[in-house]
Structure formats: structure tokens, C-alpha cells
Amino acid sequence: MAFRTDIVKVGKIIEIDPDVDDLSPFIEPANMLVTDVVEGEGETTDETKLTIIETWLAAHFYAIFDPRLLVDDIEVLRSRIESKVDLGLDVTRYGQMAMRLDTSGKLAELNEQAKGNTAATKKYRVSFAWLGKKCE
């Protein structure tokens, strides 16, 4: 399987642990999604664009594995990692960026399906209002 991106490209947008020398566990699912979802629909065939989307998706998957450090305060021995309670590609800013870069909208559509936000699964709230006159 030929990947569009590599550790160097991913490393330019997200800091990679120096001990990590193989990002294929993160690049492979990114490649699969880009190939099956974005390119598979035939709407996006520009290899440069597909490479950029794959790179951001690989960074997304890596960020889930190794959350980003937001605060490292030595004086009070406190650290805070970047985390968001959400599902799918919305969990990281890298996944969000990949959806924005995919102008076909297929990644966003897949993301909403994974979260159960499709027309078939949306819950509707029903309410009733009486518009008649009061009977005496």
C-alpha cells in the first residue's frame, strides 16, 4: 500500500515523540479513509490535496494516541493535556482541519454518521399547541 504522506510531512504539523520512528499505524487508517471516502467518491482527484488531507488525518490519529501538552508548569508541578470530549474527527484540531480541507464534504458526512447525526437517526421533538377557543 502506497501512502501519500510520511513521518516528515506529519512531523511538520504535529510534534512527534523522538522515540517514534514509524507512523504507519496512524498513516495507514488516514490513507484508507482518504482513498475510500474522499478519493473513492471521484470528487477529489488532486493528489496534492489528497496528500494534505491524509497528512492532517494521520496527525489526528497520532494526537489521539499521544495527546498534546497544553500546560507544563514546573513551579507547581502541573501539566494539562489537550483533550476534548467528543466523537470522531471532532476530537482533535487535526481531524477538524482534515474535514475542512476535504471540500467534497465526505469526511464531515462520515463523521456525522459515526456520531449518529444522520437524517434517519435524528430525534425530533414534538410539541402541541391549542389554537382553538376555550369552550364555556
User: Does residue 77 have a pLDDT over 60?
Assistant: no
- Would you say residue 125 lies in a domain? no
- Would you say residue 122 lies in a domain? no
Q: Note down the domain range covering 105.
A: 7-114
- The Cα 21–Cα 69 span in angstroms is 20
Residues 39, 43, 48, CA angle at the centre, nearest 5°?
Answer: 60
Average pLDDT (111-121) is 72
Q: Is 13:61 a contact under the CB 8 Å cutoff?
A: no
Residue 37 has a pLDDT of 87
- Would you say residue 135 lies in a domain? no
Q: Which helix (H) or strand (E) holds 32?
A: helix 24-33
- Would you say residue 127 lies in a domain? no
Going by C-alpha positions, the residue among 25, 23, 29, 28 that lies closest to residue 9 is 23
User: Does residue 12 have a pLDDT over 90?
Assistant: yes
Q: Which helix (H) or strand (E) holds 52?
A: helix 47-65
Residue 136 has a pLDDT of 64
Residues 93, 40, 55, CA angle at the centre, nearest 5°?
Answer: 30
Residue 97 has a pLDDT of 86
Q: Is 60:98 a contact under the CB 8 Å cutoff?
A: yes
Residue 123 has a pLDDT of 55
Q: What whole-number percentage of the chain has pLDDT above 70?
A: 68
- Would you say residue 20 lies in a domain? yes
- Would you say residue 74 lies in a domain? yes
- Would you say residue 131 lies in a domain? no
User: Residue 84's CB: how many other CB atoms inside 10 A?
Assistant: 12
Instruction: Give the total number of structural domains in the chain.
Output: 1
Q: Amino acid letter at 96?
A: Q
- Would you say residue 133 lies in a domain? no
Residue 73 has a pLDDT of 56
